[in-house]
C-alpha cells in the first residue's frame, strides 16, 4: 500500500539543479515567519470569522479595504520586507522574475486589469487582488527554495486541514455552524452544510478534494498509515460539506490513481507486506463502516444533495441564454453591468454564473478574458514544473472543479490555497550534497 500511494520510488531533481546560481541573501527568520503566518491565516480565517471581528469581507457594504483577505495584506508586506532585506528591492524583483517569469507575467496582467476594472467602474476589484495577485506573490516568495519554510508550511497545511475536517463533522453532527457563511452579515438559515474554517461549503469541498488527492500522490514525508487515516477523515468531511462535484471527482480520480499505481506495483512482482495487510484489513472493515454510517444517517445529507441541488444544475443551463441577448461589441468589451444584472434576475441566476470563463466573459468581455486566462495557463504550467510528477492528480482535479462554479472569476482565495498545497506537498526531492 505504501508503494501504491507513493508511486514509483525515484528521486526527482529540482529544475535547474546543478546550474550556477547567483549569490543571494538567505531567507531571514522574519520572512519565513511572515510566510507561515500568512498561510495560516489563509487556510483558517473565513469571511464568517472576519464578520465577528467587524470585518465585512464577503459582503458589499463597508470599506473597500475590507474586501481583501488579511492574508493577502500580509503576503504583500512580506514581499516588501523580503525585497528590502535582499539588499536591493529592484534587484529582488528582477531576481524572482527571472526564476518565475510566468508568475510575474500573471501578476502584471492581473494588476493591469485591476486598474481597467477600476476605470471602467466594473465589479471585481478585490477579485483581481485576492484571486490572481495573491497566488502570484506566494509563488514568487517561495521561489527562493527555503527548505525550512516549506517544512513549516507542510505542518500548517496538515494541522489546519485536520482541524477543518473535525470541525465539519462536529457541525454535521450537532447541526450548529460555528462560523456560518454570511453575506453582509446575513446567514443562509436554510443551508446547514458545514462551513468549518474555510467558510462557504463549496470552497471547503474544493480545498478538501484537492487535499485528499494530494495525500494520495503527494505528501511523501508522512507515514502511509497516517496518510490513509487523513484520507478517510477528509472524505467524511466532504460528505458534511455537501459538494457533489468534489465527492464524485475525488472518488473517480482517486480510484483511478490507486488502480494505476496498484497495477504498476503488481507488474514489478514485489508487494509490500505491510501495505497488503492494510489493504486486506480495510477491505474487511469497509462494509462494517458503511453499514454503521448508514445506520446513523451519515449518507442522508449526501443523498439529499444529489436529489435536490437548489437549482444549481438548472443555473448551469440557463447561463448560456444570456449570450443570446448581447451584441458582438458587448461580448468583446463587456456589456452594461446594470443590464447584465437585470437579465440575470429575469433568468433566475441570482446565485451566480457557475462557470469562471462564462462569468468573466460576461462581466469583463472576451478580450480581457483571453488575456487573464492566457496568464493563468502559463502560471499553472510553471507551478506544475516546480513539483514532482504526482502533481498531475490534484492539478487535474483543480482544473475540473474550478469550472463547476464562479471560482476564479470572482473573489476567492482558492487559487492561493491550491498553489500552497502544490508547492509544499509536492516539493521535489533534493539530493544530499556529497563531500569528498
Give the HSE-up count for residue 397: Cα atoms under 13 Å, Cβ half-sphere. 32
Contact 314, 352 (CB under 8 A): no
* C-alpha cell of residue 82: 523580503
pLDDT bin (cut points 50, 70, 90) of residue 192 is: confident
**For all residues of the chain together, what is the average pLDDT?**
81
Rounded Cα distance between 257 and 415, Å, is: 23
How would you write 313-360 as a 3-class SS string?
Answer: HHHHHHHHHHHHHCCHHHHHHCCCHHHHHHHHHHCCCCCCCCCHHHHH
How many CB atoms are located within 10 Å of the residue 300 CB?
A: 11
Rounded Cα distance between 280 and 284, Å, is: 6
How many CB atoms are located within 10 Å of the residue 157 CB?
A: 21
11 has pLDDT over 50: no
Rounded Cα distance between 433 and 169, Å, is: 45
Give the HSE-up count for residue 183: Cα atoms under 13 Å, Cβ half-sphere. 4
**pLDDT tens string 90-129:** 999 999 999 999 999 999 999 998 888 888 777 677 788 9
Question: Cα dihedral angle (174, 178, 184, 190), rounded to 10 degrees?
Answer: -10
Contacts with 354 (C-beta within 8 Å, 6 or more apart), sequence order = 312, 315, 316, 319, 404, 405, 406
The whole-number pLDDT of residue 133 equals: 94
370 has pLDDT over 70: yes
**pLDDT tens string 34-75:** 999 999 999 999 998 999 988 999 888 888 889 999 999 999
Rounded Cα distance between 427 and 221, Å, is: 10
Q: In sequence order, which ranges of 86-200 are alpha helices (DSSP H)?
A: 89-99, 101-120, 125-127, 134-141, 147-174
The whole-number pLDDT of residue 49 equals: 92
Q: Which burial class, exposed, middle or buried, applies to 313 when counting CB atoms under 10 A from its CB (0-12, 13-18, 19+)?
A: exposed
Closest CA to 257 of 231, 282, 276: 231
Rounded Cα distance between 69 and 164, Å, is: 19
Higher-pLDDT residue of 404 and 430 is 404
Percent of the chain with pLDDT over 90: 39
Most confident of 138-147, 189-198, 284-293, 356-365: 138-147
Long-range Cβ contact pairs of 86-93 (< 8 A, separation 24 or more) = 86/24, 86/25, 87/25
178-217 per-residue burial string, b: 16 or more CB within 10 A, e: under 16: bbbbbeeeeeeeeebbbbbbbbbbbbbbbbbbbbbbbbbb
pLDDT bin (cut points 50, 70, 90) of residue 433 is: very low
18 has pLDDT over 50: no
Residue carrying C-alpha cell 490572481: 132
In the beta sheet, which residues pair with residue 178? none
What residue ranges do the domains of the chain occupy?
2-310+351-425
The whole-number pLDDT of residue 345 equals: 65
Higher-pLDDT residue of 9 and 335 is 335
Contact 225, 2 (CB under 8 A): no
Closest CA to 387 of 90, 142, 21, 29: 142
Long-range Cβ contact pairs of 342-347 (< 8 A, separation 24 or more) = 347/318, 347/319, 347/321, 347/322
What are the C-alpha distances in Å from 219 to residues 257, 266, 325? 15, 23, 48
The whole-number pLDDT of residue 60 equals: 80
Rounded Cα distance between 249 and 256, Å, is: 10
pLDDT bin (cut points 50, 70, 90) of residue 294 is: low
356 has pLDDT over 80: yes
Under DSSP, the state recorded for 187 is E
Backbone angles phi, psi at 182, to 5 degrees: -125, 145
How would you write 207-246 as a 3-class SS string?
Answer: HHHHHHHHHHHCCCCCCHHHHHHHHHHHHHHHHHHCCHHH
The whole-number pLDDT of residue 282 equals: 58
288 has pLDDT over 60: no
pLDDT bin (cut points 50, 70, 90) of residue 289 is: low
**pLDDT tens string 218-252:** 888 888 888 888 998 998 899 888 888 888 889 88
Amino acid at each position: 500500500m505504501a508503494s501504491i500511494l507513493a508511486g514509483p520510488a525515484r528521486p526527482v531533481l529540482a529544475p535547474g539543479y546543478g546550474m550556477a546560481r547567483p549569490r543571494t541573501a538567505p531567507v531571514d527568520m522574519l520572512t519565513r515567519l511572515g510566510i507561515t503566518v500568512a498561510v495560516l491565516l489563509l487556510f483558517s480565517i473565513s469571511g464568517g470569522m472576519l464578520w465577528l471581528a467587524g470585518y465585512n469581507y464577503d459582503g458589499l457594504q463597508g470599506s473597500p479595504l475590507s474586501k481583501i483577505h488579511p492574508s493577502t495584506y500580509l503576503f504583500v508586506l512580506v514581499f516588501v520586507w523580503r525585497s528590502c532585506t535582499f539588499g536591493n528591492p529592484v534587484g529582488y524583483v528582477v531576481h524572482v522574475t527571472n526564476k518565475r517569469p510566468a508568475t510575474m507575467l500573471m501578476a502584471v496582467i492581473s494588476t493591469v486589469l485591476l486598474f481597467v476594472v477600476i476605470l471602467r467602474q466594473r465589479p471585481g476589484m478585490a477579485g483581481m487582488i485576492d484571486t490572481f495577485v495573491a497566488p502570484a506573490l506566494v509563488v514568487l516568495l517561495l521561489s527562493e527554495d527555503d527548505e525550512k519554510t516549506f517544512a513549516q508550511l507542510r505542518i500548517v497545511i496538515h494541522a489546519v486541514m485536520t482541524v477543518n475536517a473535525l470541525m465539519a463533522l462536529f457541525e454535521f453532527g450537532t447541526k450548529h455552524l460555528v462560523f456560518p457563511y454570511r453575506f453582509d452579515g446575513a446567514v443562509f438559515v436554510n443551508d446547514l452544510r458545514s462551513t468549518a474554517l474555510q467558510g462557504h461549503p463549496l470552497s471547503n469541498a474544493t480545498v478538501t478534494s484537492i487535499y485528499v488527492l494530494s495525500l494520495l500522490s503527494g505528501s511523501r514525508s508522512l507515514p502511509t498509515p497516517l496518510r490513509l487515516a487523513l484520507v478517510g477523515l477528509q472524505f467524511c468531511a466532504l460528505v458534511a460539506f455537501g459538494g457533489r462535484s468534489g465527492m464524485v471527482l475525488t472518488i473517480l480520480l482517486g480510484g483511478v490513481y490507486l488502480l494505476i499505481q496498484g497495477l504498476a506495483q503488481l507488474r514489478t512482482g514485489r508487494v509490500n507486506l505491510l501495505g497488503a495487510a492494510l489493504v486486506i484489513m480495510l477491505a474487511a472493515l469497509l462494509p462494517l463502516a458503511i453499514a454503521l454510517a448508514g445506520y446513523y444517517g451519515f449518507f442522508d445529507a449526501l443523498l439529499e444533495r444529489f436529489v435536490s441541488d437548489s437549482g444549481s444544475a438548472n443555473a448551469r443551463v440557463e447561463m448560456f441564454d444570456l449570450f443570446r441577448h448581447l451584441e458582438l461589441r458587448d461580448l468583446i468589451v463587456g456589456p452594461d453591468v446594470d443590464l447584465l444584472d437585470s437579465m440575470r434576475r429575469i433568468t433566475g441566476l441570482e446565485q451566480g454564473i457557475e462557470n469562471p470563463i462564462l462569468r468573466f466573459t460576461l462581466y469583463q468581455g472576451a478580450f480581457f478574458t483571453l488575456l487573464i486566462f492566457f496568464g493563468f495557463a502559463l502560471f499553472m504550467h510553471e507551478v506544475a514544473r516546480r513539483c514532482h510528477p504526482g502533481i498531475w492528480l490534484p492539478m487535474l482535479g483543480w482544473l475540473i472543479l474550478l469550472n463547476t462554479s464562479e471560482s476564479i472569476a470572482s473573489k476567492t482565495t482558492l487559487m492561493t490555497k491550491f498553489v500552497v498545497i502544490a508547492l509544499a506537498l509536492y516539493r521535489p526531492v533534493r539530493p544530499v550534497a556529497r563531500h569528498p
